[in-house]
């Protein structure tokens, strides 16, 4: 029994990449649902991370997120992924309204030497739970998005990485003088993910 428990605590590079890429998939679903980018009725409830989560039933979006997580997992495993940003834009004007920023620190020793690290699944899940709860409560600290919106995903990778044809070079889609809310982070001991959301500050638009 003891040896089986110990095995569960071993985190490999591939295992860590799978945890982090899956986290991005669920985060994207939660952000798009909670920020009203896709209609509420196009999501179905599932249980994940010990929480009720929402997953899109829109076939196009499902396919996009599945392809995204597969590509991110590959980049995470190679240690080449530095940051992922989910950007919410006005459909009418293309103005950037929110940037959900996930910064990634990779233990390069693990990538180079193929080592593993130790951390319990439960501890990682608790850390991810805290982030998911913050995303779910985003309506309490972010301005209402009262217009039709679209989204984009930016990936910041090492310069020497060959970019797949399905990805194109992009500007960073920044927000001038944004308000910033820092969310919780989680750490697999191989990949550490820091999360923050920046959003357009409308206070100065009233004049």
> 163-179: buried (b, 16+ CB within 10 Å) or exposed (e) per residue?
eeeeeeeeeeeebeebb
Q: pLDDT, tens digit, for every residue of 91-147?
A: 999 999 999 999 999 999 999 999 999 999 999 999 999 999 999 999 899 999 999
CA distances (Å), origin 31, targets 34, 75, 147: 5, 22, 16
Q: Nearest CA to 145 among 202, 104, 206?
A: 202
Instruction: Indicate the SS3 state at residue 116.
Output: coil
Fill in the DSSP letter of residue 163: P
Can you give the length of the chain in residues?
A: 207
In the chain, what are the domains?
Answer: 9-158+167-199 (3.30.900.10)
Q: pLDDT, tens digit, for every residue of 3-29?
A: 444 445 899 999 999 999 999 999 999
Q: What are the backbone angles phi and psi of residue 201, rounded to the nearest 5°?
A: -95, 110
Strand partners, 46: 53
| Confidence label for 205 from pLDDT (cuts 50, 70 and 90) | very low
pTM exceeding the 0.85 threshold for the entire prediction: yes
Where are the extended beta strands (E) located within 63-133?
81-90, 96-106, 117-118
Q: Nearest CA to 138 among 199, 68, 85?
A: 199
pLDDT at 203: 58
CA angle 128, 168, 20 (to 5 degrees): 15
Question: Any idea which residue has 């590079």 for tokens?
Answer: 13
């Amino acid at each position: 029994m003891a040896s089986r428990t110990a095995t569960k605590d071993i985190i490999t590079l591939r295992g860590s990449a799978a945890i982090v890429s899956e986290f991005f998939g669920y985060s994207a679903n939660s952000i798009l649902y909670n920020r009203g980018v896709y209609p509420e009725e196009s999501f179905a409830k599932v249980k994940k991370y010990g929480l009720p989560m929402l997953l899109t039933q829109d076939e196009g979006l499902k396919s996009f997120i599945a392809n995204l997580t597969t590509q991110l997992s590959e980049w995470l495993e190679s240690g080449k992924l530095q940051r992922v940003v989910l950007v919410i834009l006005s459909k009418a004007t293309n103005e950037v309204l929110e940037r959900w920023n996930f910064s990634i620190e990779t233990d390069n020793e693990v990538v180079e030497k193929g080592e593993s690290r130790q951390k319990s699944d439960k501890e990682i899940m608790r850390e991810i739970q805290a982030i998911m709860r913050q995303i779910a409560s985003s309506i309490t600290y972010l301005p209402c998005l009262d217009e039709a919106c679209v989204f984009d995903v930016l990936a910041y990778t090492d310069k020497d990485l060959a970019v797949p044809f399905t990805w194109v070079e992009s500007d960073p889609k920044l927000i001038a003088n944004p308000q910033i809310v820092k969310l919780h982070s989680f750490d697999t001991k191989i990949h550490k993910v820091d999360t923050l959301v920046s959003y357009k500050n409308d206070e100065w638009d009233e004049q």
